[in-house]
Structure 1
Amino acid sequence: MTTKLETLEAAVRNALGDDLQSLAVAFGEITIVVKASNYLSAMRVLRDHADTRFEELIDLCGVDYSTYGDGAWDGARFAAVSHLLSIEHNWRLRVRVFAPDDEMPMLASLTDIWASANWYEREAFDFFGILFEGHNDLRRILTDYGFIGHPFRKDFPVSGYVEMRYDAEQKRVIYQPVTIDPREITPRVIREEHYGIK
């Protein structure tokens, strides 16, 4: 007797064929990887194929793998990870696609396939700097318009590049270089000589 997970795995393999780069099963979930060049067509197939029927994109987020696995990661730096839901078949799927260029990460936009991709892609652009080709309104969504950089990148400084404050003389908010001195806080642990011994 085949399980629901095995049925989903067979359906995904059947629907995507050679567009499927890899498939992994862990913790009762399936994660697939598709190439950036096949991303748009693969996602359209996952939505429309009778075996899969993923009607909903329930999440899309950016990921920076630059220090993944204690810096042992050997692959593309940026990826978009999508979570799909099939109401018809009552199953979920995670899809990962890596941007081929680390300097200017660019992927196809899913907004023509799922309208819900709009704000998710804007968030991935805002926080990670991943560009989505074909997105008709790719602009910052959570950081300020004057914000410099992408705060979820692993190489972004914790204190940022600029700080803002209200200037009473100019009667407006102004930006200035960060005035916080970087420091490392080391916790000091003090225990009695015979701590925990009865």
Structure 2
Amino acid sequence: MTVKLDTLEQNLKSVLGDKIVRLDRALGELTLTVKAADYYAVATTLRDHASLRFEQLMDLCGMDYSAYKDGAPSQFTDGPRFAAVSHLLSLTHNWRLRLRTFATDDDFPLLASVTPLWSSANWFEREAFDLFGIVFDGHEDLRRILTDYGFIGHPFRKDFPTNGHVEMRYDAEQKRVVYQPVSIELREITPRVIREDNYGGLH
């Protein structure tokens, strides 16, 4: 595995050169970070170059780094908020790669769509749009996929309230589903822990 990772790392550096912002190696995996402006071109190279050949996109998800704490590297807490992370597989070389790119505008996170390169990105990008609000330029059918059409906000963002904004119910008189402000009062539940000196008969 180490030899294979060494080979992949060298191939990435040789082929991509200064388009690499970061190339991290941890737990037997490589994570390649590139600029949003280079994202589509790098993805094309990763798929088509003979020494890389990542023919398959296994997964793509959104990330919100706005409250990324607990020992995370500082470049993720001070930099752009939203990122798209893809997991790629090379069937030819039998190796994997994580590809990450950050949207430059936190207020309107925009990235190129990779659906022309990997058709499997279609629903993944729709999910990232629905849950994080990341817009994928060039996606032919970018609309919500998990939440309702009338849903307000993006529920996987760190600042989205845990009780949501609205709730829905079926109205028998109108014979349809209606939306109304959330009626649940937000409360914080702190578990109560009782400790006894002789709990369980142990002394």
TM norm. shorter chain > 0.5? yes
In 2, are the aligned partners of 1:15 and 1:46 still within 8 Å (CA)? no
Match of 2:179 among 175, 190, 193: 175
Task: Work out whether residues 162 and 176 of structure 1, in 8 Å CA contact, stay in contact via their aligned partners in 2.
Answer: yes
Kindly provide the CA deviation profile for residues 113-134 of structure 1, in whole angstroms up to 9, marking residues without a partner as x: 1111111000000000000001
* Aligned position for 1:50: 50
Query: How much has 1:190 moved relative to structure 2?
Result: 1.8
| CA drift at 1:191 | 2.7
Give the residue type in structure 2 aligned to 1:153.
R
Task: Tell me, in whole angstroms, the C-alpha distance in 1 between the residues paired with 2:129 and 2:136.
Answer: 8
Structure 2 runs not aligned, ≥5 long: none
Deviation at 1:185, TM superposition (A): 0.6
* % same residue: 67
2:90 aligned with 1:86: yes
Query: What is the aligned residue count?
Result: 197
Letter in 1 for 2:45: V
CA deviations on 1:8-53 (whole Å, 9 max, x unpaired) are 1011111211111110100000001000000000000000001100
Compute the displacement of 1:193 (Å).
Answer: 3.5
Give the Cα separation in 2 of the matches to 1:6 and 1:95: 17
- Quick one: distance in 2 between partners of 1:5 and 1:162? 48
**In the alignment, is residue 96 of structure 1 matched against residue 100 of structure 2?**
yes
Matched, 1:125 2:91: no
* Structure 1 segments unaligned to the other structure (5+ residues): none
| Separation in structure 1 between the aligned mates of residue 165 and residue 43 of structure 2, nearest angstrom | 37
Separation (CA, whole Å) in 1 of partners of 2:17 and 2:193: 57
**What is the rounded CA distance, in whole Å, between the counterparts of 1:67 and 1:100 in structure 2?**
17
Q: 2:142 aligns with which of 129, 138, 143?
A: 138
Quote the residue 1:150 is aligned against.
154
Please list every run of at least 4 consecutive aligned residues from structure 1 whose deviation after the TM superposition is greater than 2 angstroms. 191-198
Cα RMSD (Å) = 1.3
TM-score (norm 2): 0.94
Q: Which amino acid aligns with 1:3?
A: V
Partner of 1:34: 34
8 Å Cα contact 1:54-1:84 kept in structure 2: yes
What residue identity is the alignment partner of 1:23?
Answer: L
Q: CA deviation at 1:93?
A: 0.1
CA distance in structure 2 between the partners assigned to 1:49 and 1:14 by the alignment: 11
| Deviations 1:106-150, CA, capped at 9 Å, x for gaps | 000001111111110000000000000011110000100010000
1:24 paired with 2:28, answer no
SS of the equivalent of 2:44 reads: helix
The TM-score with structure 1 as length reference comes to 0.96
